[in-house]
Amino acid sequence: MVVDGNIKLFDPSSPNDSLESINEKLNDNQTSFALGDLSNTTFWISAATLYVHKSNKIENINHTISETSKIIQDLTHEKKSDDKKKKEVVQHYKALCDVFKKRNEPLSVEMIKEWHAILMNGAMPNPGQFRQQEVITGNKLFIEYKSIPSLLETLVNKYNLFVQKEAREHINNRSKQTPYSLAAWISHAFLTIHPFLDGNGRISRLLENYVLFEFGFPFPIPAFDNKEDYLGALRQADRDFKNGRNTSQLAHLILNGSNKIYTMYLANNALKQELKNDVRASTEVKDIPYPSYDFYYNENSNMVKASYKSMETKYSTILLLENVVYYQRLK
């Protein structure tokens, strides 16, 4: 709802699912949205590979992670293949790259149609075109096809207004939303409109990544580890439309995905830093840093466990259970 040119934040059709409504809070560290390390193309491709593998797996496209990695590596090395089985991986990766390329552009219906055309190229007739028939999946009836253009245009416009609102409120330190809530909100709304005959789930997950890219996260966020958790989050959002589509569980899954990628990025960098000097250059054994461990007793598992002290110190800010959102790009 727009009131005097402003968004009414808690309108039922707004992303009112702030992460405060989730029992378990995972941290959103400010550094994750200000890495600026886009020169690390190798890690970007690795994260993209994981994303494509998991997103395809939800749709029962069952390439192994090794097969997905090999297909994308061949693509990035300009090795062409006419294998139709590989095309589902290739086109998904190309669509993700285009989403990232356009991360600083305002979202539009045409952009979504272009991403669908790339994603479904060779997989269906007329990719990028809205469906011209009614669709029933299982016991779910989707919105009539004649309403798709106007509804999707409204959804895109509302999203762009939310982004503008967040920019203004961030400047004044009044921002209460998170990019995860926005990503979950638009993803579920898009799925409910279901504008295409096929590929809607994959486009919805590309939209989630578009939101995080736009807010400054530099790497793709993989789809969810557990398909049932993902479907359960969508079912939860379906249950009570009149009270605002509770997409908090979906937001939580997206947040968890971003934390995993961020943690892996930091761990890789830490190890490279630790091992950057050749040990053979040390003149004496005492010059070689030795790992220090802190042992403690875990009553729940009846086991003695060890924690790496230096890692605890280095990642203490990451392990804080806080929900603090920072935006790199919005000024």
With respect to residue 307, please indicate whether it lies within any of the assigned structural domains: no
Is residue 65 assigned to a domain?
A: yes
* Residue predicted with more confidence, 148 or 237: 148
User: pLDDT at position 8, please?
Assistant: 33
More confident residue, 193 or 34: 193
- pLDDT, position 309: 37
> What's the DSSP call for residue 137?
E
* pLDDT band of 152, cuts 50, 70, 90: very high
* Unique residue bearing structure tokens 């091992």: 275
- 200 labeled binding residue: yes
The reply to whether 203 sits in an annotated binding site is yes
Q: For residue range 73-131, list pLDDT tens digits in order.
A: 998 776 666 677 799 999 999 999 999 999 999 999 999 999 999 999 999 999 999 99
pTM of the model: 0.76
Residue scoring higher pLDDT (320 or 140): 140
Say if residue 198 carries a ligand binding annotation.
yes
Residue 128 assigned to a binding site: no
| Rounded (5°) CA angle 53-186-258 | 45
- Is 204 annotated among the ligand-binding residues? yes
- Mean pLDDT over residues 191-205, rounded? 96
* Residue 219 lies inside a defined structural domain of this protein: yes
At a CB cut-off of 8 Å and minimum separation 6, what does 57 contact? 223, 227
**Burial label, 114 (beta-carbon count in 10 A; 0-12, 13-18, 19+):** middle
In the predicted model, what is the mean pLDDT of the chain? 76
Q: Which of 20-34, 46-60, 237-251 has the lowest mean pLDDT?
A: 20-34
Poorest-pLDDT segment among 52-66, 113-127, 179-193, 317-331: 317-331
- Per DSSP, the three-state class of 49 is helix
Does the annotation place 199 within a ligand binding site? Answer: yes
Whether 320 maps to a domain, the answer reads no
**Domain assignment present for 329:** no
Q: Identify the H or E element spanning 308.
A: strand 303-308
Helix (H/G/I), strand (E/B), else coil: 269: helix
Query: In this structure, is residue 239 part of a structural domain?
Result: yes
The secondary structure of residue 170, as a DSSP letter, is H
Would 175 be classed as within a structural domain?
yes
CATH number at 95 reads 1.10.3290.10
170 is catalytic: no
Q: Nearest Cα to 162, choosing from 202, 210, 211, 195?
A: 211
What is the domain count for the chain? 1
Q: Is 276 inside any structural domain?
A: no
- 172 appears as a binding residue in the annotation: no
* pLDDT, position 238: 86
Domain that holds residue 229: 2-271
Selecting among 53, 188, 194, 252, the annotated active-site residue is 194
Q: Please state, in angstroms and rounded to a whole number, the distance separating the CA atoms of residues 34 and 219.
A: 11
